Amino acid sequence: MHRLSIIIILLYLLSTAVYIAYFFFQKKMTREGGYSFLLAGFIVHSGMLGYAFIMAGALPASNLSENLSIVAWAVAGVFLLLRYKFDLKILGVYAAPLAALTLITASQLPNHPPEAVNLFKSFWLTVHVIAIFIGEAAFALACGVGIFYLMQEHAIKNKKHGFFYKRLPSLDLLDSTGYACIVVGFILLTLGLISGFIYAKSIWGRFWSWDTKEVWSIISWLVYVALLHQRLTVGWRGRRAAIMAIIGFCALLFTFFGVNFLLKGHHDTFTKF
Amino acid sequence: MKPNRAEIVLLGLNHKTAPIELRECIAFSKEETADSLLKLKASSSISELIIYSTCNRVEILMVTSQQQSAIDAAKAHISEFKRIAVPKFEKALYVHVNENAVRHVFMVAASLDSMIIGEPQILGQIKEAYRIATTKQTSGVLLNRLLHRAFFVAKKVRSETGIGDSAVSVSYAATELARKIFGDLSGKQVMLIGAGEMAELAVEHLIRHRVGTIFVANRTFKRGVELADRFNGQAIRMEEINDHLKKVDIIISSTGAPGYMVTCAHVKDSMRSRRNRPLFFIDIAVPRDIEPAINRINNAYVYDIDDLKGIIDENIDERRKEAFKAERIIDEAVIRFQEWQGNLDVVPTIVDLRDKLERIVKTEMEKTLHGLKHLTESDHSALNRMTDAVVKKILHDPALFLKSDGCYGDKAVYMDMTRRLFRLDEME
């Protein structure tokens, strides 16, 4: 299993390198190359996760290492899907290294076999974990798109048409892609939270227990609610939407990492190492 | 080298050597070009001929074995045809021979010699000139090959360097910017305030990107209606401008008015009902029509004429850098062309032909001998002598023909024919 991880990391890293080359030289071959390596990495990664799932009968999500591996898989997967829908191939230069770094971090963390596997053999927990992580991947990409948007907007507003201006796509494309990511992420995050509550009810007998992780999840969720609400009512788009996407992702990151290390909660056991 | 070897000679003037008055005076129309081709071709010293004339250059490309008399004939023709004394234009003329002429043609076709480097029209103009020359049958083996190579080089330069990538006109730069903001321009609504050549050009550029309705506001409503008709748009009154800010996406302004036509307050107002959809102002007017502070409003972008000119200057620098890369491609092509031209001589053609025959004989012999193991060493040498004699005998008559004056007129035609018949040049 470990050797497989290394192969996946290598594929993601190759994809990163080729995408960076694409960013600089803008050659079609590099673009397709970056995509192919990422796709190959994603397929092997899917296989590895699927195998682990079948062998254990439960999602391999019992510690931070395994969780991060799923996140890396989701980032690659969401980007590959996004690539079909939107003509935003340059985002590979953000998605590929993100997937690679996440998986490298995962591989460096201790990965002890879980003690209470039974905890994970629940339908609701599986839904919870998958929905949350794919949602987070979508938000991660929304954040990347938001950063691209701010860079491109800066270039246009300040009339400095340099390196990035030429390589980044139109503001409209960045804005609509970011919006699509947020919508997908939001739906999945909501689904993940609901399934989490249902699972909590079945385990601890109550939906809500003022656990720090729960509170921070709701805070992140509310950031996205605010963003979507403003967009639908007064048409918050462009710069504000991009900044909110970045803030929202920071809140999510804190929920994911910060809460584990700084505060305590019942996600402790499987999101800490 | 023999004294009467065919040479490629180019004689011409361009925007660098001749002022516009002189270029206007000497420029050839299509009919005049065709006419001149026939007249000049009649002179005994010129065996092949192409003339191209654009607003920035007039060039006569010839193949001749008597350089000086061909040049004199060309000068005399210009003088006579255009009724201008030779001394009046002689100083502006440049003459390139062989390698330099080939390089010059490649540079021109690849738009490296243009006033605006990388402008795309020149290639089409040369193609048209070549077409005329072929219909008048004034182009031959050398110029056919040269022009085909030039088209190939031009295409290669365009695809492998960024020479034509960036906008170098105000209207084009504005359209490019609009595309960076809106992505797809189809269906985007445009408002033109005032009129003017540059503004109208910009609108035409936008129309090519299938923009939606075009509103035209003009101080005199009648003029507005005329313009609107031209763009298939709709004329509005000046008082309606602010109201229309709510629905249009791109505003091009070019009035002579002293104050701002659109102010910050107007834009802030309309942004609410636009639900923050982006607004792009192109302000071509001096003094400016659009309040510059609008650029600081979210989702509103203002470019004035200086901003656009700044972009164009940057882009022109960019093109110059790319032109540097292009010259490498051209150097290579010049060398390749000269190799080809050198091979058109008698000796290399016969040598190549003999090599090819010997190669064929050798491989076939090896194949055959492989199956005939019982032959002795002396059998082998007898067979070799036989095949050598066959090659020699086959080569005898063609070599004699090519070397002698059996081929009248244009030797290059026969060399080229021989090389093509036996496929002596590697295909590209």
Q: Give yes or no for residue A227 having a pLDDT over 60.
A: yes
Quote the distance between the C-alpha of residue A230 and its chain's center: 23
Residue A267: the pLDDT is 62
Residues of B in Cβ contact (< 8 Å) with A240: 298
CB contact under 8 A, B275 and A152: no
Per-residue pLDDT tens over the stretch A50-90: 988 888 777 777 777 888 889 999 999 999 998 888 888 88
Residues of A in Cβ contact (< 8 Å) with B312: none
State the average pLDDT for chain B: 88
Mean pLDDT along residues B132-138: 92
Least confident window among B40-54, B55-69, B397-411: B397-411
**Nearby residues of B317 by Cβ (< 8 Å), 6 or more positions away:** none
Determine contact, residues B254/B198, Cβ cutoff 8 Å.
yes
State the average pLDDT for chain A: 86
Residue A52: the pLDDT is 85
pTM listed for this prediction: 0.73
Closest Cα of chain A to B107: distance in Å? 25
Per-residue pLDDT tens over the stretch B397-420: 888 888 776 555 567 788 888 888
Residue A96: the pLDDT is 93
Residue B428: the pLDDT is 42
**Residue A62, class by beta-carbon neighbours within 10 Å (0-12 exposed, 13-18 middle, 19+ buried)?**
buried
Residue A88: the pLDDT is 85
Residue A159 in contact with partner chain B when CB distance is under 8 A: yes
Residues of B in Cβ contact (< 8 Å) with A154: none
CB contact under 8 A, B183 and A170: yes
Residue A273: the pLDDT is 43
Residue B1: the pLDDT is 37
Say which of A172, A235, A239 has its CB closest to residue B181.
Answer: A172
Say which of B183, B295, B314 has its CB closest to residue A157.
Answer: B295
Who has greater pLDDT, B124 or B406? Answer: B124
Say which of B298, B303, B314 has its CB closest to residue A238.
Answer: B298
pLDDT band, very low/low/confident/very high, at B45 (cuts 50, 70, 90): confident
Output the six-digit token pair for B21: 């008055």
CB contact under 8 A, B180 and A152: yes
Look at the block and give the residue holding tokens 């490019």: B176
Mean pLDDT along residues A153-170: 88
Output the six-digit token pair for B262: 């659109």
CA distance A27 to A7: 26
Residue A165: the pLDDT is 87
Residue A272: the pLDDT is 47
Residue A161 in contact with partner chain B when CB distance is under 8 A: yes
Closest Cα of chain A to B202: distance in Å? 19
Per-residue pLDDT tens over the stretch B238-256: 999 999 999 999 999 998 8
DSSP state letter for A90: G
CA distance A150 to A148: 5
| A-B contacts at Cβ under 8 angstroms | 50
Least confident window among B113-117, B331-335, B410-414, B416-420: B410-414
Which residue of B lies nearest to A88 if distances are taken between CA atoms? B183
Residues of B in Cβ contact (< 8 Å) with A172: 181-184, 278
Q: Give yes or no for residue B348 having a pLDDT over 70.
A: yes
Which residues of B carry out catalysis?
55
CA distance B352 to B276: 73
Per-residue pLDDT tens over the stretch A102-118: 999 888 887 766 555 55
Residue B3: the pLDDT is 43
**Nearby residues of A10 by Cβ (< 8 Å), 6 or more positions away:** none
Per-residue pLDDT tens over the stretch A30-45: 888 999 999 999 999 9
Residue B377: the pLDDT is 87
- The candidate with the shortest Cα–Cα distance to B109, out of B123, B119, B120, B98, is B123
